């Protein structure tokens, strides 16, 4: 069938895109605020963005139409609806199956083009294919189209997904069509049922015949293994589409005789999900569904059913406004993309941030930095909390520097983190961020010997060492094995007694702090996105240890009228908390630091004797499981970098602490204080981020904590503690 490319009128464009563009218009006011805030943070970067509503007005929309379509012969006619095609561009590095020939001017094979045209409801429906419908030689048109791609794919009548590297054999084709029909009939029946009835009906109705299992597995692996799944633009196209039950996105692949077959996206996803379920495996022993999560996410080849099921799950639609743009960016960047600037547009589109990026980028690091600023401009302070790989970027002279921002990482879902202090962040460049910080004047110090001895006595007398559990976690069936593996790894890596250090630190904080700790932990794990249960455990087996611990403070049943309620029960809760293995994720080398002049304390990780704990005011309100403590040092960006003196690598190490402090860049904070006082430059270098927990909200009191306005914080690596440890002879 002959086709022609037609440029649509403005009125026709608006009618086709109207519904999808309404979501852009509804968010226009909020987006204008985000763009204004971005101008405050970094006007140079903000100038590279345009409101999507303005871009849509400039969008050129073309359609592939049949030569006999009314619009070809009548200037007043319109395209009533259209298909949008999602596919992989043909190139020499990718091999399509032999049936995918010949190649058309659309950029897809002739059999696929014929199938697409045959699926239309009428000769007047159009087809949108990016390669031909966008003028690839016009950079301005391309940028506008790229920024508007979510609207184009959301507005189509149906999304067609071409798998031109998938050809089923006769057996795979037969079982694929058989179970696609079974699934379709099941969906028709389900529509007539109540929500309560649907699950039991599906469990009763859906089953695989044992003799079909091998072929079904081959069918599923082929349908889930196409190159299409590895492309960022394809991931974008399927995620921004509505996925309605009628006109659900349709996979097109080749059958045994070279003809084109079609399968609904929701059927392929359902089949993959069903095959992966342990219940299905119990019936169909041949299904190799199991695999650990880390291997699945770390292996980009996706060679197993589980890996491919995880990947198709990441393509499901639906925008949750609670999820951070950083989550969208990290998810999308796990797919391949030849044009790096496109990743920025893709992430914003899937996050439904109606801005169009008009600038240029040279690396994924640039995109991560740009996304971090957009996130901050939207009121989400997630970039201030990441503890991941520092971005290594290039300045205008080509010299590499470490950014204050970290590379986003993919978790189950990285949620937005709102702040009541958005204006405490003044500005940001790739090198530094300017913001207000709460500077903690004290240092995280080693536990005094007397409290370490007291902790040792309690632990030994009541056999509490290694009694760690996860109290307050309701369902350990999935969490416990993963957490236990991580705990075992940490146990093997730590060369001191973790429980003794934590208990000793708590004893040094005082009994009021100890009795308050369970309430603080419970309150903070009930707020925000904490996925590991609540700190609300009460283990009565700690009663004797709790009574013994109270006696160290002179509190006994004999001298306290309300001993059980006022002291014993709170102390049992305290021991239940500090023996909870989840605390190990918060403090790997626990140290106590004073956070209020009236005697409040927090637990955090060890830092150097040259570092300070600073808490950006924008994140000071957050609960314990965020990395709100920044380890910083006064920094002059114009000063030359200091290196470890070379002679230390060959000479015997000094024997006295003062000599150590004079010759080694940094020692643990347990050593003499070598910190510079806050300087007139008001600039700092950030070594790392880490949690701070167990205290009441950190506020300025002028003594333990001071507020410093508009401080520039530059990026920097943490010290090489392994190398310094070897030099120290691992002296602790």
Render pLDDT for 458-471 as a digit per residue (tens, 0 to 9).
999 988 865 556 66
Query: Apex CA 145: angle with CA 142 and CA 151, to 5°?
Result: 165
Q: Calculate mean pLDDT across residues 507-527.
A: 91
| pLDDT above 70 (res 496) | no
Return the sign of the alpha-carbon dihedral for residues 72, 77, 82, 84: positive
Q: How many residues does the chain have?
A: 732
Return the higher-pLDDT residue of 26 and 688.
688
CA distances from 102 to 56, 106, 110, 111, 211 (A): 35, 11, 6, 8, 37
pLDDT tens profile 306-355: 888 888 887 887 666 677 777 777 776 666 676 777 777 888 888 888 88
| pLDDT above 90 (res 231) | no
For residues 709 and 436, the answer to whether their CB atoms sit within 8 Å is yes
**Weakest-pLDDT range from 280-284, 512-516, 565-569:** 280-284
pLDDT value, residue 704: 95
pLDDT value, residue 632: 96
Return the higher-pLDDT residue of 712 and 489.
712
Distance in angstroms (rounded) separating the CA atoms of residues 596 and 442:
10
Please give the DSSP secondary-structure letter assigned to residue 246. Answer: T
Q: At what angle do helices 511-525 and 569-578 cross, to 10 degrees?
A: 60
| pLDDT above 60 (res 477) | no
Confidence of residue 283 (pLDDT cuts 50, 70, 90): very low
Would you give the distance in Å from CA 377 to the centre of its chain? 18
**Alpha helices by DSSP H, 193-263:** 195-205, 213-224, 232-240
- Omega within 30 of 0 (cis) for the link into 102: yes
Q: Calculate mean pLDDT across residues 462-484.
A: 57
| pLDDT above 90 (res 545) | yes
pLDDT value, residue 292: 30
pLDDT value, residue 316: 80
pLDDT value, residue 485: 52
Residue 294 in tokens: 């880390």
pLDDT value, residue 287: 42
Express as a percent the part of the chain with pLDDT over 70.
84
Residue 531 in tokens: 């996925």
| pLDDT above 50 (res 298) | no
Query: Apex CA 11: angle with CA 5 and CA 17, to 5°?
Result: 80
Distance in angstroms (rounded) separating the CA atoms of residues 115 and 126:
14
Output phi, psi for 565, to 5 deg. Answer: -75, -40
Would you give the distance in Å from CA 632 to the centre of its chain? 25
pLDDT value, residue 677: 77
- Name every residue whose Cβ is closer than 8 Å to that of residue 634 and which is 6 or more positions away in sequence: 676, 677, 678, 679, 681, 683, 684, 685
Distance in angstroms (rounded) separating the CA atoms of residues 176 and 168:
9
Distance in angstroms (rounded) separating the CA atoms of residues 172 and 226:
15
Confidence of residue 1 (pLDDT cuts 50, 70, 90): low
Residue 529 in tokens: 């996105």
pLDDT tens profile 188-222: 998 888 888 888 899 899 989 999 999 999 999 99
Confidence of residue 487 (pLDDT cuts 50, 70, 90): very low
Query: Apex CA 147: angle with CA 370 and CA 80, to 5°?
Result: 160
Express as a percent the part of the chain with pLDDT over 90.
52
| pLDDT above 80 (res 286) | no
Distance in angstroms (rounded) separating the CA atoms of residues 332 and 346:
7
pLDDT value, residue 466: 58
Distance in angstroms (rounded) separating the CA atoms of residues 327 and 364:
15
> Any idea which residue has 């401009």 for tokens?
377
For residues 206 and 290, the answer to whether their CB atoms sit within 8 Å is no
pLDDT value, residue 480: 46
What is the secondary structure of 443-476 as a DSSP string? --BPPPHHHHHHHHHHHHHTT-TT--B-TT-S-H
pLDDT tens profile 34-88: 999 999 999 999 999 988 888 899 999 999 999 999 999 998 999 999 999 999 9
Spatial CA neighbour of 266 closest among 285, 292, 241: 241
> Can you count the helices (H) and strands (E) in the chain?
29, 20
Confidence of residue 681 (pLDDT cuts 50, 70, 90): confident
| pLDDT above 60 (res 570) | yes
pLDDT value, residue 25: 84
Mean pLDDT score of the chain, rounded to an integer? Answer: 85
Distance in angstroms (rounded) separating the CA atoms of residues 722 and 493:
12
| pLDDT above 60 (res 486) | no
Return the higher-pLDDT residue of 730 and 21.
21
pLDDT value, residue 358: 83
Cross-strand bridge partners of residue 643: none
Q: Calculate mean pLDDT across residues 672-687.
A: 86
Confidence of residue 668 (pLDDT cuts 50, 70, 90): confident
Spatial CA neighbour of 135 closest among 62, 193, 74: 62
**Weakest-pLDDT range from 163-172, 326-335, 472-481:** 472-481
- Cα torsion through 578, 584, 586, 588, rounded to 10: 120
Return the higher-pLDDT residue of 729 and 677.
677
Distance in angstroms (rounded) separating the CA atoms of residues 602 and 591:
8
pLDDT tens profile 99-138: 999 999 999 999 999 999 999 999 999 999 999 999 999 9
Confidence of residue 732 (pLDDT cuts 50, 70, 90): very low
- The predicted model scores a pTM of 0.80
**Weakest-pLDDT range from 252-266, 637-651, 657-671:** 637-651
Helix (H, G, I), strand (E, B) or coil at 570: helix
pLDDT value, residue 684: 96
3-state helix, strand, coil in the chain (%, to 5): 45, 15, 40
| pLDDT above 50 (res 299) | no
> Any idea which residue has 């079909």 for tokens?
212
Confidence of residue 656 (pLDDT cuts 50, 70, 90): low
For residues 434 and 711, the answer to whether their CB atoms sit within 8 Å is yes
The pairing of beta strand 432-440 with beta strand 612-616: antiparallel
Q: Calculate mean pLDDT across residues 657-664.
A: 58
pLDDT value, residue 665: 73
Distance in angstroms (rounded) separating the CA atoms of residues 644 and 666:
10
| pLDDT above 50 (res 482) | no
pLDDT tens profile 376-415: 998 999 999 988 888 999 888 888 999 999 988 765 557 7
Q: Calculate mean pLDDT across residues 614-641.
A: 91
CA distances from 375 to 30, 48, 393, 408, 502 (A): 13, 16, 19, 12, 36
Spatial CA neighbour of 482 closest among 292, 732, 201, 264: 292
Distance in angstroms (rounded) separating the CA atoms of residues 700 and 559:
38
């Amino acid at each position: 069938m002959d086709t022609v490319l037609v440029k649509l009128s403005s009125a026709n464009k608006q009618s086709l895109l109207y519904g999808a563009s309404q979501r852009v218009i509804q968010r226009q006011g909020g987006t204008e605020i985000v763009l204004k805030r971005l101008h405050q943070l970094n006007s140079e970067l903000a100038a590279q963005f345009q409101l999507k509503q303005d871009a849509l007005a400039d969008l050129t929309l073309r359609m592939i139409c049949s030569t006999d379509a009314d619009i070809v012969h009548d200037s007043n006619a319109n395209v009533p609806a259209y298909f949008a095609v999602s596919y992989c561009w043909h190139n020499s590095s990718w091999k399509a199956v032999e049936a995918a020939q010949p190649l058309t001017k659309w950029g897809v094979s002739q059999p696929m083009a014929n199938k697409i045209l045959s699926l239309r409801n009428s000769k007047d429906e159009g087809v949108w294919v990016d390669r031909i419908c966008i003028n690839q030689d016009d950079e301005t048109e391309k940028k506008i189209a790229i920024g508007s791609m979510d609207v184009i794919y959301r507005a189509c009548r149906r999304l067609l997904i071409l798998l031109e590297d998938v050809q089923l054999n006769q057996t795979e084709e037969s079982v694929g069509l058989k179970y696609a029909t079974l699934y379709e009939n099941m969906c028709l029946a389900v529509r007539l049922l109540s929500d309560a009835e649907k699950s039991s009906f599906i469990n009763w109705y859906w089953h695989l015949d044992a003799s079909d299992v091998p072929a079904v597995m081959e069918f599923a692996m082929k349908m889930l293994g196409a190159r299409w799944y590895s492309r960022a633009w394809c991931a974008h196209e399927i995620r921004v589409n509505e996925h309605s039950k009628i006109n659900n996105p349709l996979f097109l692949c080749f059958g045994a005789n070279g003809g084109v077959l079609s399968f609904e996206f929701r059927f392929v996803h359902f089949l993959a999900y069903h095959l992966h379920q342990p219940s299905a495996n119990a019936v169909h022993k041949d299904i190799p569904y199991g695999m650990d999560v880390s291997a699945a996410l770390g292996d980009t080849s996706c060679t197993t059913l589980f890996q491919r099921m995880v990947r198709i799950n990441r393509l499901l639609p639906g925008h949750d406004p609670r999820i951070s743009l950083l989550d969208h960016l990290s998810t999308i960047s796990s797919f391949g993309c030849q044009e790096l600037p496109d990743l920025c547009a893709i992430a914003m589109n899937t996050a439904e941030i109606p801005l169009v990026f008009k600038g240029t980028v040279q690396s994924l690091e640039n995109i991560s930095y740009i996304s971090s600023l957009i996130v901050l401009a939207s009121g989400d302070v997630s970039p201030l909390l990441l503890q991941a790989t520092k971005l290594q970027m290039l300045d205008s002279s080509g010299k590499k520097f470490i950014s204050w921002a970290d590379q986003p990482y993919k978790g189950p879902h990285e949620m937005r983190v709102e702040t009541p202090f958005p204006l405490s962040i003044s500005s940001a460049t790739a090198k530094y961020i300017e913001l207000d910080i709460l500077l903690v004047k004290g240092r995280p110090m080693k536990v005094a010997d007397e409290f370490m001895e007291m902790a040792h006595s309690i632990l030994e007398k009541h056999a509490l060492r290694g009694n760690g559990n996860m109290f307050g976690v309701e369902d350990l069936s999935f969490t416990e094995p993963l957490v236990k593996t991580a705990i075992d790894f940490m146990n093997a890596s730590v060369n001191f007694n973790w429980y003794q250090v934590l208990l000793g630190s708590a004893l040094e904080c005082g009994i009021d702090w100890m009795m308050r700790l369970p309430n603080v932990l419970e309150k903070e794990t009930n707020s925000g996105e904490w996925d590991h249960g609540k700190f609300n455990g009460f283990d009565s087996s700690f009663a004797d240890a709790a009574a013994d611990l109270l006696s160290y403070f002179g509190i006994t049943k004999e001298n306290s009228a309300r001993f059980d309620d006022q002291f014993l029960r709170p102390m049992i809760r305290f021991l239940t908390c500090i023996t909870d293995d989840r605390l190990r994720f918060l403090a790997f080398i626990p140290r106590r630091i004073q956070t209020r002049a009236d005697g409040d304390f927090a637990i955090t990780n060890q830092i150097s004797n040259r570092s300070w704990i600073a808490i950006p005011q924008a994140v000071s309100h957050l609960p314990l499981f965020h990395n709100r403590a920044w380890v910083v040092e006064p920094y002059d960006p114009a000063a030359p970098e200091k290196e470890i003196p070379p002679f230390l690598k060959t000479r015997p190490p000094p024997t006295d602490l003062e000599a150590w402090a004079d010759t080694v860049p940094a020692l643990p904070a347990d050593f003499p204080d070598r910190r510079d006082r806050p300087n007139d430059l008001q600039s700092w270098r950030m070594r790392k981020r880490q949690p701070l927990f167990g205290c009441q909200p950190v506020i300025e009191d002028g003594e333990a904590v001071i507020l410093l306005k508009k401080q520039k914080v530059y990026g920097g690596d943490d010290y090489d503690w392994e190398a310094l440890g070897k030099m120290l002879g691992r002296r602790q």
